[in-house]
């Protein structure tokens, strides 16, 4: 039983919106609240209803909204210009699982986009004017992605105190930004601040406070990061730490990471570090993957630097201008399986003649003149040894 009254379609007991309304091309409002409708999928032909402006579905049984359910409505919205800053406020009463918000053209003034997303669990915003955002209390937020190209200050205060947040990605800023602090997020486990050309002083307790569960921290491809003594206090749960292609100040002089006993993966490749202190990585007893390519060692510090990393399996020290490696450089690395020494100036790899590297299965090395050890009785037998550009080599 359908009644068409002044462009309103009203019914009781509807289970679907797939109605025979082909001829109702002037329909403006469809009010079908208090029914048993389970899907908001509209008939495809409704995308041609130019006067249609309101769909009322309150008090129904809709629990899931899929992309193809809204296809007809999205086609009708193509080209719509949202000039009202509060135009999306009506979405605040809806509980979203995921929200993806893309801004193709920069608005002349900030749009209050977050107030309509307070009930969402996953939010992605691209090209938003984040430095102008107001504080919003997200109720159920678990993942937040802010991918934008606007310069300014990263608003730490507005993005703190999110007690349900587990993952945050703020990345790919074209212009350099200044970071605030992110505090009071007890469930945060994953933080990606890569590719922001960011300069950060006294990392990382000034950046993160009240985040005891954080396990992944990515600050790669930024400007400059300055470490501080005790800079990782309170971040003891870190397992993966990435600084690659970011200038890291002071890492080579003291042990700023000593409390990170659960750290498994550390990447400081091409971070303009000169290692002068043999205790730089003291305390990282569970480190499994260590990427140190493109940095420098002072004197014979490389002879002792890795001695306490007994769980290390993957070591990349390529392009570090190394001329000589003493056999004791890899003492206690009995689990090491992959060793990358490409781009150095080694004349010999006689450290292979010692039994410490008994698990080594892959060695990458480039040199114009390289002599291998001739002691097969005690040398390990790597299953894959990659040599490139060699003019002289003796194998064992």
Domain boundary among 30, 65, 80: 80
Structural domain span for residue 341:
323-396
Residue 335's pLDDT is 94
Q: 190: Cβ–Cβ under 8 A, 6 or more apart, which residues?
A: 166, 167, 168, 169, 214, 215, 216
Domain-located, residue 367 = yes
Domain-located, residue 277 = no
With CA atoms as reference, report the closest residue to 119 among 146, 93, 89, 88: 93
Residue 379's pLDDT is 44
Mean pLDDT of 239-254: 92
Interatomic CA distance for residues 217 and 386, integer angstroms: 32
Query: What length is written for the chain?
Result: 396
Residue 86's pLDDT is 56
The residue assigned the tokens 């587990």 is 166
Residue 79's pLDDT is 53
Interatomic CA distance for residues 293 and 245, integer angstroms: 10
Q: 85: Cβ–Cβ under 8 A, 6 or more apart, which residues?
A: 109, 110, 111, 112
Domain boundary among 45, 61, 80: 80
Domain-located, residue 334 = yes
Lowest mean pLDDT among 34-43, 87-96, 297-306, 366-375: 366-375
Burial 343-376 (b: 16+ CB within 10 A, else e): bbebeebbbbbbebbeebeebbbbbeebebbeee
pTM score, whole prediction:
0.74
Lowest mean pLDDT among 19-33, 89-103, 162-176, 243-257: 89-103
SS (H, E, C) 171-238: ECCCCCEEECCEECCCCCCEEECCCCCCEEEEECCCCEECCCCCCEEECCCCCEEEECCCCCCCCCCC
Domain-located, residue 330 = yes
Domain-located, residue 25 = yes
With CA atoms as reference, report the closest residue to 327 among 307, 305, 353, 288: 353
Residue 374's pLDDT is 40
Share in percent of the chain as helix, strand, coil (round to 5): 10, 25, 65
The alpha carbon of residue 350 and the mean position of all alpha carbons in its chain are separated, in whole angstroms, by 40
Residue 10's pLDDT is 56
With CA atoms as reference, report the closest residue to 161 among 192, 176, 139: 139
**What is the torsional sign of CA 369, 374, 378, 381?**
positive
Distance linking the first and last C-alpha atoms of the chain:
90
Domain-located, residue 253 = no
Domain-located, residue 39 = yes
**pLDDT confidence of 17, banded at 50, 70, 90?**
confident
The residue assigned the tokens 């159920």 is 140
Helix boundaries (H) for the chain: 71-76
Residue 91's pLDDT is 61
Comparison of pLDDT for 245 and 355, the residue scoring more: 245
Domain boundary among 61, 80, 99: 80
Strands of 54-56's sheet in order across = 3-5, 8-10, 29-31, 54-56
Mean pLDDT of the residues in the chain: 78
* CA Rg value for the chain: 29
Q: How many domains does the chain have?
A: 2
Domain-located, residue 57 = yes
The residue assigned the tokens 């403006």 is 28
């Amino acid at each position: 039983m359908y009644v068409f009254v002044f462009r309103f379609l009203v019914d009781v007991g509807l289970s679907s919106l797939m109605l025979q309304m082909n001829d109702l091309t002037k329909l403006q409002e469809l009010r079908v609240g208090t029914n048993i409708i389970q899907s908001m999928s509209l008939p495809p032909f409704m995308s041609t209803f130019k006067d249609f402006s309101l769909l009322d579905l309150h008090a129904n049984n809709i629990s899931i909204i899929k992309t193809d359910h809204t296809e007809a409505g999205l086609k009708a919205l193509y080209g719509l210009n949202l000039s009202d800053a509060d135009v999306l406020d009506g979405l605040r009463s809806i509980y979203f699982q995921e929200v993806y918000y893309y801004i193709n053209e920069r608005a002349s003034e900030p749009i209050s986009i977050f107030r309509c997303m307070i009930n969402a669990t996953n939010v992605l915003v691209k090209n938003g004017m984040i430095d102008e955002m107001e504080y919003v209390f997200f109720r159920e937020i678990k993942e937040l992605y802010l991918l934008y190209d606007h310069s300014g200050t990263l608003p730490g205060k507005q993005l703190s105190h999110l007690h349900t947040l587990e993952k945050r990605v703020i990345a790919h800023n074209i212009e350099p930004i200044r970071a605030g602090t992110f505090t009071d997020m007890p469930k945060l486990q994953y933080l990606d601040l890569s590719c922001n050309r960011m300069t950060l002083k006294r990392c990382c307790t000034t950046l993160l406070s009240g985040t005891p569960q954080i396990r992944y921290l990515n600050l790669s491809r930024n400007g400059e990061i300055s470490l501080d003594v005790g800079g990782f206090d309170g971040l003891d749960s870190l397992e993966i730490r990435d600084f690659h292609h970011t200038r890291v100040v002071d890492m080579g002089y003291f042990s700023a990471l000593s409390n990170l006993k659960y750290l498994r993966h550390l990447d400081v490749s091409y971070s303009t570090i000169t290692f002068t202190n043999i205790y730089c990585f003291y305390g990282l007893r569970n480190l499994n993957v260590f990427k140190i390519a493109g940095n420098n060692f002072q004197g014979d510090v490389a002879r002792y630097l890795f001695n306490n990393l007994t769980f290390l399996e993957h070591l990349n020290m390529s392009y570090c201008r190394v001329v000589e490696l003493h056999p004791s450089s890899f003492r206690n690395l009995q689990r090491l399986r992959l060793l990358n020494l490409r781009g150095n100036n080694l004349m010999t790899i006689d450290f292979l003649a010692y039994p410490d590297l008994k698990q080594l299965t892959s060695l990458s090395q480039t040199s114009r003149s390289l002599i291998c050890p001739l002691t097969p009785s005690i040398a390990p037998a790597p299953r894959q040894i990659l040599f490139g550009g060699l003019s002289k080599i003796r194998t064992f």
